[in-house]
Amino acid sequence: NPRASIASLSESSAGQHLFIRARIHTSRAQGNKMLFLALRQRLSTIQAVLVVNPNTVSKQMVKWAASLPAESIVLVEGTAQQPAVPVESTTISNCEIILQKIHLISGIEGRLPFTLEDAARTAEEYEERDAEGNKVYNSVGLETRLNNRVLDLRTPISQAVFSVQSGVTSLFRSYLESQGFLEIHTPKLQGAATESGASVFKVSYFKGTAFLAQSPQLAKQMAIAADFERVFEIGPVFRAENSLTHRHLTEFTGLDLEMTIEESYEEVVGLLDSLFLHIFSGLNEKFAKEIAVIGKQFPAEPFLWLEKTLRLKWGDAIALLRESGIEIGDFEDLSTEQERTLGALVREKYKTDYYILDKFPLAIRPFYTMPDGADSRYSNSYDFMMRGEEILSGAQRVHDAVFLEQRMREHGIDPASMKGYLDAFKMGVAPHGGGGIGLERVVMLFLKLNNIRRATMFPRDPKRLEP
Ligand code: AMO
């Protein structure tokens, strides 16, 4: 028999004979003759009613069904009917089912660490008080959720978050393919650090040592040297950053791209910008329901962007910060706090949560960054920002082998440790540039989840390698 999906049922399904496999979300008995179940599939629930009936449903059956704990997986058979009062909800079906049969497919051992009802409580319900006025913290803390991640992932909010995450990678891939990019896969085991020595994980590699890739940086540039012209990769990135913050993981998913340049690095910035606009509008278009579900627990002002993206040069950003009383040097890197302040100032002045910060000081960028031809204290490099936080970092790259070697030495890198990379440049490479995006950051900031772990299925940080 075909199984119905709860999300596809509506009042017009009334009268249909249905088979549904779902989890018991909640269960409420009324006397010993009637049982109300909320059955759940992903984001959607449906009310199911089991009532004693001389031909099909015995008292024992109602009693047994009432004893099934929440989260059990059941297969039910019944008839759809219109609810007495129409249901207007993005997640609860406007259709009920009168049950004839219920089979247990997979049961629960022991007690659940928390209920999904508690896990779904909204911010206001955090403040719920009991009769004596004491605070009742029914909602579930992040640590408990992460320790019991599979259960937490079943909540409609988590289900929605990972649909949106999948939407970001799918929009990233489809846009780049439409622009002639080739998807590549580069090694995560490396002979040397790829970004900076400080944050690299060492792993034992037979009798020697290998390093986990901190970025596909060198490999994606070598793919350009190999004439692939436009490449992208979606893959894991490892950073041994020993800091517990709301936005750092030790393993995240990098959305990287690299492309040749004909005339100017504006071509890269323009493409990256169109890519983000494609992602933002695609998410709003395809995931309105998911965004609404998430917004119930994480209320956020809608993500704003402009038709023509704001480009702020480094000097303009420093001026904006100084105007608001912040003391900062011309070539000093921004702290996380200053970055956020800048985001707030930009939102106030330009009404956007998305902008490009361009022309970074050369001294605070990696060795492979191309200096600005007009003023070599700056560089042809940029960060893209969402809600005041960095989501992309990129640049035009140095493509002259002699200059590249000089830049390495200036950064204290032994060119011999990157021989394969340097050799690629000695055989000629077209001017090129690109960028790297943190997938989990884009999801966290678009949805305002406030912690990157909520946008990571099984997060890894300095204190967490499990589950
Ligand atoms: P960068 O080091 O800035 O640049 O990283 C690119 C993007 O990756 C994300 N990101 C992180 N996300 C989660 N946890 C972390 N610890 C973390 N670190 C970085 C951010 C950041 O913008 N090779 C260059 C990219 C390039 O030039 O193409 C690079 O790796 O969103």
pLDDT in tens, 361-370: 999 999 999 9
Average pLDDT over residues 346-372: 97
**Is the predicted pLDDT of residue 136 greater than 80, yes or no?**
no
Q: What is the pLDDT of residue 50?
A: 97
Most confidently modeled range among 142-146, 410-414, 434-438: 434-438
3-state helix, strand, coil in the chain (%, to 5): 35, 25, 40
Q: What is the pLDDT of residue 105?
A: 98
Tokens of 339: 């970055």
Q: Ligand 1, from 199, 221, 237, 432: best to mutate by most atoms within 8 Å of Cβ?
A: 237
pLDDT in tens, 280-293: 999 999 999 999 99
What is the whole-number distance in angstroms between the Cα of residue 389 and the centre of ligand 1?
12
**CB proximity list for 411: less than 8 A, separation 6 or greater:** 366, 367
Confidence of residue 134 (pLDDT cuts 50, 70, 90): low
| Strands of the sheet with 432-438, listed across from one edge | 182-183, 230-238, 251-260, 432-438, 389-396, 381-386, 354-358, 310-313
**Is the predicted pLDDT of residue 135 greater than 60, yes or no?**
no
**Is the predicted pLDDT of residue 463 greater than 60, yes or no?**
yes
Residue nearest to atom 17 of ligand 1 (CA): 248
Pocket of ligand 1 (CB under 6 A): 195, 215, 217, 239, 241, 248-249, 252, 256, 390-395, 434-438, 440-441
pLDDT in tens, 78-122: 999 999 999 999 899 999 999 999 999 999 999 999 999 888 876
- Rounded to an integer, what is the distance from CA 448 to the centroid of its chain? 11
Question: How far apart are the C-alpha atoms of 141 and 248, rounded to whole Å?
Answer: 19
What is the whole-number distance in angstroms between the Cα of residue 440 and the centre of ligand 1?
11
Q: Could you give the percent of the chain with pLDDT greater than 90?
A: 88
More confident residue, 251 or 139: 251
Name the average pLDDT for the chain.
Answer: 94
Average pLDDT over residues 406-414: 94
**Is the predicted pLDDT of residue 126 greater than 90, yes or no?**
no
Average pLDDT over residues 334-363: 97
Go through the chain and tell me how many residues it has: 467
Q: Ligand 1, from 265, 441, 444: best to mutate by most atoms within 8 Å of Cβ?
A: 441
> Which residues is 378 bridged to in the sheet?
361
Q: Could you give the percent of the chain with pLDDT greater than 70?
A: 96
Question: How far apart are the C-alpha atoms of 436 and 186, rounded to whole Å?
Answer: 14
**Is the predicted pLDDT of residue 360 greater than 80, yes or no?**
yes
> Which residues is 104 bridged to in the sheet?
74
Residue type, 258: E
Question: How far apart are the C-alpha atoms of 405 and 394, rounded to whole Å?
Answer: 20
Q: What is the pLDDT of residue 119?
A: 87
Report whether 188 contacts 212 (CB < 8 A): yes
Counting Cβ atoms within 10 Å, is residue 467 exposed (0-12), middle (13-18) or buried (19+)? exposed
Report whether 224 contacts 430 (CB < 8 A): yes
Counting Cβ atoms within 10 Å, is residue 55 exposed (0-12), middle (13-18) or buried (19+)? exposed
Peptide bond into 467 cis (omega under 30): yes
Question: How far apart are the C-alpha atoms of 174 and 183, rounded to whole Å?
Answer: 11
pLDDT in tens, 22-33: 999 999 999 999
Residue appearing with tokens 């994480």: 298
Residue nearest to atom 6 of ligand 1 (CA): 436
Question: How far apart are the C-alpha atoms of 397 and 417, rounded to whole Å?
Answer: 19
Average pLDDT over residues 136-149: 82
pLDDT in tens, 154-208: 999 999 999 999 999 999 999 999 999 999 999 999 988 877 656 999 999 999 9
Question: How far apart are the C-alpha atoms of 303 and 349, rounded to whole Å?
Answer: 16
Query: Nearest Cα to 16, choosing from 5, 24, 26?
Result: 5
Q: What is the pLDDT of residue 29?
A: 96
Report whether 189 contacts 213 (CB < 8 A): yes
**Is the predicted pLDDT of residue 71 greater than 60, yes or no?**
yes
Residue appearing with tokens 């979300």: 25
Q: Beta 251-260 vs 73-81: how paired, if at all? A: unpaired
Q: What is the pLDDT of residue 296?
A: 86
Q: How far is CA 251 from CA 127, 283, 381, in A?
A: 34, 24, 24
Question: How far apart are the C-alpha atoms of 223 and 188, rounded to whole Å?
Answer: 15
Catalytic residues: 239, 241, 247-248, 390, 393, 441
- Rounded to an integer, what is the distance from CA 12 to the centroid of its chain? 36
Tokens of 277: 């606009």
More confident residue, 382 or 128: 382
Q: What is the pLDDT of residue 192?
A: 82
pLDDT in tens, 260-282: 999 999 999 999 999 999 999 99
**Ligand 1 nearest atom to the CA of residue 394, by list position:** 27
What is the whole-number distance in angstroms between the Cα of residue 94 and the centre of ligand 1?
44
Query: Nearest Cα to 265, choosing from 373, 411, 422?
Result: 373
Question: How far apart are the C-alpha atoms of 181 and 51, rounded to whole Å?
Answer: 59
pTM given for the model: 0.95
**Is the predicted pLDDT of residue 127 greater than 90, yes or no?**
no
